[in-house]
Structure 1
Amino acid sequence: MAIRIFIDQGHNPIGYHNSGAEGNGIYESDINYMVGRYLADLLAADPRFEVRTSRTTPTEVLGTDNLSSLNERVNMANEWPADYFISIHVNANENPNINGSEVYVASLYSESYWLGDDILREIVRRLGTQNNGIIINPTLYVLRRTNMPAILVELAYITNASDAWKLANQQYAFAYAIYSGLLNYFGLSPL
């Protein structure tokens, strides 16, 4: 039976509530959408997976405020029901020197933790970002309200010039790194 992966492209488009970070002339919601779209296409082409995304178009708006937006994403995954939940984000910091990739999970040494570890390793290996590790944060809504193992991937820092270039120009590579990390986690070979 196919493994069901729910991809949550974090945040709504610019101009709406919950629109995410911006920096270096690019917007988090746009990057999240495209990396999620590429990842969904990779998974859809692999018969071992079934995939759904939270946003089906770049202009789709979920919810009427931050909480209802998060709730809608979680409900879609829970009602399907998905086997795994991957929320895609990019990070920001007031200090433009802060850079790298990290993955948030709700608990240490859980299924989510090991999945996040495999995905983070592939992002760092393929994109050359700094490995900021797996961060435990059980307070994040999408990690505590999902009924399946869930991770929140922070691809890189939109506020760091080098990371921002990668986010703007290597979106398919980020998606492929997540796909490759999923294959590693499940012990599968590329098709």
Structure 2
Amino acid sequence: MAIKIFIDQGHNPGDINAGASGNGLVESEITYNVGIMLAGLLFADPNFEVRVSRRYSDTVLGTNQRTSLQQRVDMANGWPADYFISIHVNSNPNPAINGSEIYVFRENSVAYNMAEIVLDNMVYFTGMKNNQVRVNPSLFVLRRTRMPAMLIELGYLTNLHDVEILRNKQFAFSFGIYIGLLEYFGLPYQL
């Protein structure tokens, strides 16, 4: 039985739930690309079934931030997915802040254990700084999904070191997440 993974490419192009931008990069474009590449890796692996929130780069979900987030959650819950992965890019007023982190609803959970392995692999393949797995039960997509959920912050658009990696190693993020999932489930890597 295939493992059903729902990939939410955080934010939208345009003005509705638009996300961050900086140093020539736009969050919704990066999250779309990384999500589609991850979906391609999962689609090619018979151990997984995969769906994405944004099938096309110009897909806009919802009419405001709340309905945009609700639509993503409803798609995952309605499928129903076994696991939910939301992909984001961070920003900070302090340009020195950098690195990757993953948010989950609670510690000592399936999502937390999975996130640790995924984050380790993602930073291994990209060279990002590991900011560890963090608990944030206030995040909408972590609160409202009915399956283990992770919100991945790939890196900081406001940090020049991260910007280079976010611009040039998008496949490496996808591949790291994929290898992390394989490791978590104890599955072999198949070309």
Same fold (TM over 0.5): yes
Report the number of matched residues: 190
Cα shift at 1:123: 1.2
TM-score by length of 1: 0.98
- Rounded Cα–Cα distance in structure 2 between residues aligned with 1:16 and 1:58: 14
- Rounded Cα–Cα distance in structure 1 between residues aligned with 2:164 and 2:26: 12
Q: Does the alignment pair 1:135 with 2:141?
A: no
Cα shift at 1:180: 0.5
- Rounded Cα–Cα distance in structure 2 between residues aligned with 1:115 and 1:86: 11
- Rounded Cα–Cα distance in structure 1 between residues aligned with 2:93 and 2:123: 23
Residue in structure 1 matched with residue 6 of structure 2 by the alignment? 6
Aligned identity (percent) is: 58
Structure 1 stretches of 4+ moved >2 Å: none
Residue in structure 1 matched with residue 180 of structure 2 by the alignment? 181
TM-score by length of 2: 0.98
Query: After superposition, where does 1:85-124 map in structure 2 within 5 Å?
Result: 85-124=84-123
Partner amino acid for 2:11? H
List runs of 5+ in structure 1 lacking aligned partners: none
Contact 1:63 1:72 in 2 (8 A): yes
Contact 1:3 1:48 in 2 (8 A): yes
Cα shift at 1:146: 0.3
Q: Deviations over 1:11-30 (max 9, x none)?
A: 000x2211101111010000
Query: Aligned to 1:34, what secondary structure does the other structure show?
Result: helix
- Rounded Cα–Cα distance in structure 1 between residues aligned with 2:87 and 2:134: 15
Query: Aligned to 1:102, what secondary structure does the other structure show?
Result: strand
Query: Aligned to 2:5, what secondary structure does the other structure show?
Result: strand
Contact 1:127 1:173 in 2 (8 A): yes
- Rounded Cα–Cα distance in structure 2 between residues aligned with 1:183 and 1:157: 26
CA RMSD of aligned residues (A): 0.6
- Rounded Cα–Cα distance in structure 2 between residues aligned with 1:174 and 1:113: 19
Contact 1:129 1:156 in 2 (8 A): yes
Contact 1:26 1:158 in 2 (8 A): yes
Query: Aligned to 1:51, what secondary structure does the other structure show?
Result: strand
Cα shift at 1:3: 0.1
Residue in structure 1 matched with residue 40 of structure 2 by the alignment? 41
Contact 1:31 1:171 in 2 (8 A): yes
- Rounded Cα–Cα distance in structure 2 between residues aligned with 1:45 and 1:68: 32
Partner amino acid for 2:6? F
Query: Aligned to 2:155, what secondary structure does the other structure show?
Result: strand
Partner amino acid for 2:2? A
Cα shift at 1:54: 0.1
Q: Deviations over 1:105-156 (max 9, x none)?
A: 0000100001111110011111111111111000100001000000000011
